Amino acid sequence: RVQGALPAEVLTYTQPIPLTQSAHLKARAFYQGEWSALTEAHYSMGRPPAPGDLALTEIHYHPTEPQQGEFVEILNMAQDTLVLDGVTLSDGLSFVFPPQSLLEPGQRVVVAQDPQSLRAAYPGILVYGPFVNHTQLSNGGERLSLLNASGDLLLGLKYGDEAPWPDSADGKGYSLVLRDPAAPGALNDPALWTASHALGGSPGVMDVNETRSTVSSDVDADGIPALGEAFHGTSDAEPQKVEEVFVIRSVIQSNPEPSIAWVMDVLHDPGATEILMDIEVSVDLKTWQSAGISFEKTSEVMADEGRVWLRHTLPPMQTLPSRQFFRLKYFHPR
């Protein structure tokens, strides 16, 4: 509308409008019965990344289908929303994040050679691409760098395809996964990397074979830490109900004498070989001690997606406590 009265949906203002989230604003001035040309701008509620804010957590450099499945994954390790506008992948790859590229705390972004195919295969993940300037990931290893919008180095690494780098990531369908994004050390060290749990990798989500130094990290706020999600074979990007992965019940017995037995079923991904679980018990929710040595694994039942239900049973006790609380503790083998 070029002339006339103010439309009903137009917001008029006489003072600055505070923004609480990122927004794309459009504005016109109405003066002496006429509208000005449209002015628009995007405002991002976040900050540019600094060294240490981002981690390159996964590299699928030699997929079984050449080029089509190539991708790299980047994780926001900071506590703030990061504005990736102008951030550049360079050296082996070439890609520049466009305007309005935001990455929330704990969120992952994937840069793919074929973003359309990756979105179709993994719905819901954040994907950019394709690579530009006819670049692609080298099957023989190369250097990758991530630069800020001013061209300063945010992170860099050089991966390889020969031992001690994981062999299964070299043309056998698996990707390279950073074991622990928060662990210190040079990313060039092959000991910091492992192969993905699944064929094709795990773009956009935490891999089962990846662990976090901050084991209490809980991106989806479902009460199950990221380390536990990996143990159960669930995703820290999708909230789970506790009873979907952990069920406990008591069995009262009266013969020959009154006693109580505890039966506990725990969902487990057998591929999570680098994560262990312990059962802890408390009577006051303050002091906890391991009960795992008392529980006996009595059965294993197949579940969906290759996972299993592990059943543990605590032998009957004639002395019945007034109350007991149980929880699961996740940790790495030393």
Question: What's the pLDDT tens digit per position in 265-300?
Answer: 999 988 777 688 888 889 899 999 887 655 677 788
Three-state SS letters, 266-310: EEECCCCCCCEEEEEEECCCCCCEECCCCCEEEEEEECCCCCEEE
Res 13 pLDDT > 50: yes
Question: What's the pLDDT tens digit per position in 146-158?
Answer: 999 999 999 999 9
CATH 2.60.40.1260 positions along the chain are 54-210
DSSP 8-state code for residue 66: T
Q: For the chain, give percent helix, strand, coil, nearest 5.
A: 5, 35, 60
> 109: pLDDT confidence band, cut at 50, 70 and 90?
very high
Classify domain 54-210 at the CATH topology level. Answer: Immunoglobulin-like (2.60.40)
What number is the average pLDDT over the span 148-176? 94
Question: What's the pLDDT tens digit per position in 110-140?
Answer: 999 999 999 999 999 999 999 999 999 999 9
> 220: pLDDT confidence band, cut at 50, 70 and 90?
confident
Res 39 pLDDT > 80: yes
Which tokens in the block code for residue 296? 């006996």
Rounded CA gap, 206 and 177, in Å?
9
Q: Is the pTM of this model over 0.75?
A: no
What number is the average pLDDT over the span 79-102? 95
Look at 212 and 163; give whichever has higher pLDDT.
163
Rounded CA gap, 301 and 210, in Å?
25
Q: Is the domain covering 242-331 a CATH 3.20.170 domain?
A: no
